[in-house]
Amino acid sequence: MARTASVQDMSSTRGGIRSHEDVARQRRGATRRGLNRLVLSVFTALLSLVFVLPFLWMISTSLKTDPQVYHIPPIWIPSPLRWANYPEGMTYVPFGLYFLNTMQYCAGTVLGVTISSALCAYGFSRLQWKGRNVLFFIVLATMMIPFQVRMIPLYLVFKRLGWLNTYLPLIIPSFTGSAYFIFMLRQFFMTIPTELSDAARIDGSSELGILFRIIVPLAKPALIVIALFQFMDAWNDYMGPLIYLRDTKMYPIAMGLEQMRAHSMNVSRPLVWPHLMAASAVVTIPVVFLYFFTQRTFVEGIALTGVKG
């Protein structure tokens, strides 16, 4: 847009004199552009409202009293705001314990996946060796294999090892890297000039030293993206814990929320919507905060996987 405007500028100043009509026409163009942008902005705002509405509905309901929930037409801004729904909503299931469980699961997999994927990506990008490309092709091919095919044997193996009801089946595989993250990091490592590692090699640095002293500091943004993605994946994961964890004491927060819904069948203390919405908000808020603070890194990371893939 900016560039076309400057082309117009040049054509209208051709001959050295800007006529009044030219200036007027330009001004009209500018206002039309401004109006266009305003209309577009309003339209997009309305559309984005559709995306946000469920969140607003969640927060609104989480602050309602029980009669307000069943009011028709629906109430958007409850009065009074019933903040007590939040502490009360946390009492159906031990959310404090579940939060600590989730942190264990998240911390373990983030650590595992970041270190191992960095090591593997280094081997697949910064070292020259026979067979490298064949193996890397297999890495990519494994991304096509649905989890369902591996699910049953994995469950049986972990059962035999006595790992069910522990976080080992969820955390240990992350220490062998993830094809997706290895691929992402490899793409990033390839963009780092080889001169840097060559110089370090001449100075007698080991490959591991180069990885940790040169590559890792330079690839920090990409590593943070991976840590972030993994954290969110683990925080949101439902299927893995569903398969491997039977003991409710081991549940992560996502499963805790689902467990809470089962209380709607409870006769002595039936679950009410404001409590469920308050708990849902509590589960959602940490990831939303994390996303707000790391938005740029996050968006760039996703773009990196899609476009360069």
Partner 1 sequence: MSAYTRRETRKILRGLLFVLPWIIGFLAFTLYPLLASAYYSLTDYDVLRPPKFVGLANYLQIFLKDDLFRLALFNTLYFVLIGVPAAFVTSFLFASLLNREMWGRSIYRTLFFLPSITPVVASVMVWLWIYNTEFGLINGILAANHLPVIPWLSSTKLAKPSLIIVQCWGEGASIVIFLAALRDVPRELYEAALVDGAGILRRFLNITIPMCTPVMLFVLLTGLIGTFQSFTLPWLLTRGGPNFSTELYSVYLYRNAFVSFKMGYASALAWLLFIIIAIFSVIVFTTSARWVYYRAE
Binders of partner 1 in range 185-204 (CB under 8 A)? none
Q: Rule CB under 8 A: say whether 265 interacts with partner 1.
A: no
Q: Rule CB under 8 A: say whether 3 interacts with partner 1.
A: yes
- Which of the ranges 20-28, 79-87, 156-164, 216-224 carries the binding residues for partner 1, by CB under 8 A? 156-164
Q: Which of 90, 184, 219, 276 lies at the binding interface for partner 1 (CB under 8 A)? A: 276
Q: Rule CB under 8 A: say whether 146 interacts with partner 1.
A: yes
Name which of 20 and 117 has its Cβ closer to partner 1: 117
Q: Rule CB under 8 A: say whether 303 interacts with partner 1.
A: yes
Q: Rule CB under 8 A: say whether 82 interacts with partner 1.
A: no
Name which of 107 and 157 has its Cβ closer to partner 1: 157
Measured CA to CA, the distance from residue 111 to residue 294 in angstroms comes to 19
Name which of 130 and 269 has its Cβ closer to partner 1: 130
Instruction: Compute the least distance from the CB of residue 16 to partner 1, in Å.
Output: 24
Name which of 4 and 16 has its Cβ closer to partner 1: 4
User: Per the structure block, which two tokens stand in for 34?
Assistant: 């401004």
Peptide bond into 73 cis (omega under 30): yes
Q: Which of 90, 110, 139, 250 lies at the binding interface for partner 1 (CB under 8 A)? A: 139
Taking residues 98 to 137 in sequence order and writing x for each that binds partner 1 by CB under 8 A, - otherwise, the string is ------------------x--xx-xxx--xxxxxx--x--
Measured CA to CA, the distance from residue 50 to residue 239 in angstroms comes to 28
Measured CA to CA, the distance from residue 234 to residue 171 in angstroms comes to 10
Q: Which of 31, 79, 288, 293 lies at the binding interface for partner 1 (CB under 8 A)? A: 288
Q: Rule CB under 8 A: say whether 90 interacts with partner 1.
A: no
Measured CA to CA, the distance from residue 205 to residue 184 in angstroms comes to 26
Reduced to 3 states, what is the DSSP secondary structure of residue 201? helix
Peptide bond into 74 cis (omega under 30): no
The count of chain residues that interact with partner 1, using the rule CB under 8 A, is 97
CA separation (Å) from 255 to 107, 208, 261? 18, 39, 10
Measured CA to CA, the distance from residue 63 to residue 76 in angstroms comes to 10
213, 200 in Cβ contact below 8 A? yes
- Using CA atoms of 176, 294, 194, 131 in order, give the dihedral in degrees to the nearest 10: 30
What is the residue whose two structure tokens read 């409850």?
Answer: 78
User: Per the structure block, which two tokens stand in for 233?
Assistant: 């994946």
Name which of 227 and 276 has its Cβ closer to partner 1: 276
Name which of 47 and 202 has its Cβ closer to partner 1: 47
Count of residues in the chain:
309
What is the residue whose two structure tokens read 């209380």?
Answer: 263
Name which of 58 and 218 has its Cβ closer to partner 1: 58
Instruction: Compute the least distance from the CB of residue 167 to partner 1, in Å.
Output: 15
